[in-house]
Amino acid sequence: MMDTSGMALRGVKVVELAGLAPAPFCGLILSDFGAKVTRVDKARTAMSMDMMGRGKRSVALNLKQQEGVGVLRRMCQNSDVLIEPFRAGVMERLGLGPDILMKDNPGLIYARMTGFGQSGPFSQMAGHDINYISLSGMLSRLGRKHENPMPPSNLLGDFAGGGLTCALGIVMALFERTMSGKGQVIDANMVEGASYVGSFIWHSRFLYNHGRGENLLDTGAHFYETYKTKDGEYMAVGALEPQFYAKLLEGLGLTIEDLPPQMDRESWPSMKEKFATIFSSKTRAEWCELFDGTDACVTPILSMQEAPNHPHNKSRDSYLTNEDGGVQPRPAPLLSRTPGVGGVGPQPKIGQHTKEVMVETGFSEEEIQKLAESGAVDLGGIKSAL
């Protein structure tokens, strides 16, 4: 495990119940900045779907057995944070609701990561990112003119409105606990999280008073758009301000006096066609040579394979390399004294740290052996010394 002694969240103990996307990302953020995160996997499971397990430990429990529930309960007594990703009511039915766990440990931060929240008509419904952002109002604003709404993969609900927002709630609750000494329940859900991430759009609706894909920042304008280059690559253009727009036109070989005013909406479609023709006349590398280092707000659209090798990103060490040679983003933001470092080791195997964590929690060798034999815990192939 990595050394967390100089990191912002050092000393914080987190129990993360295994889930998909948002909850693992939340745990990843806390782990990257120094928290000791233990993921609780299902016993007798061959593999984990969590691709964000770096820096975490894995304990395998059978929560269908009361003995397994008892192990988790004892773990939470010695922890600062619990992250649970289940639908409303599941933890209560397991006997692990906040009324029980926070009675055991009044300082526990009990973070509940769901799609629709802990209450409301949809709280018991299944869903995924696309469903949550559709209910938030945000999906209606995303997409091209005359096309269906287009979700930005699962970034907005699962990660921005889900895991990242949940992590923010946890850090705020930990800070508040330094004053009150008390824990609290966090109702983090992706509908409200995605909507909150979209606060700028909610408060700037005058910028979005036309149809989807016809506004200033949603590809309605020719100066805030992507363009295909001669070699089949793409460039991103974001020249909003007049001085930047002037630099853009200069680079494209256009004269501002010969063109309609920048904010003449009626001319935007024809100007898009003009820009598209010009961008298709050079390769991406040629456009980069022309625009790099200027204030034209024109940049290459890089693939995930290319981004780590871009000179700017390389100069900042923006990406890390795993032991297996894989590449991952460096934890952000960059703190000057206590930066996150990210676990660069392999993903934990299910149950790999069951015995280690149980010993830390106060279980004896005899107790561990009995729980393993009963199927309440899975030692991940590690045999007890007894």
- d(CA 185, CA 109) in angstroms, rounded, equals 6
Q: What is the dihedral of CA 65, 44, 375, 56, to 10 degrees?
A: -80
- In a 3-state reduction of DSSP, which class is residue 112? strand
Residue 145 in contact with residue 158, Cβ under 8 Å?
no
Catalytic site residue 128? Answer: yes
Catalytic residue among 41, 50, 129, 158: 158
Task: Assess contact for 15 and 360: CB atoms under 8 A.
Answer: no
Helices 22-32 and 165-180, packing angle to 10 deg = 50
Round to whole Å and give the CA distance between 351 and 89.
Answer: 26
Question: Can you read off the two tokens belonging to residue 124?
Answer: 């018991």
How far is residue 5 from each of residues 10, 337, 346, 361, measured CA to CA in Å?
Answer: 6, 12, 21, 21
Nearest to 332 by CA among 347, 321, 318, 346: 318
Tokens 């149809």 found at:
211
d(CA 205, CA 290): 35
The answer to whether 15 and 104 are in contact (CB under 8 A) is no
Q: Which of 112, 58, 57, 118 is nearest to 83 (CA)?
A: 112
Q: Which of 252, 260, 216 is nearest to 235 (CA)?
A: 252
- DSSP letter at 296 equals S
H-only helix segments in the chain: 22-32, 66-77, 90-93, 98-104, 129-136, 165-180, 190-197, 199-203, 242-252, 268-279, 284-291, 311-315, 354-361, 365-374
Residues 120 and 150: their CA atoms lie apart, in Å, by 26
**Which two three-digit tokens encode residue 256?**
């501002």
Asked about 203 being catalytic, the answer comes back as no
Active site (catalytic) residues: 128, 158
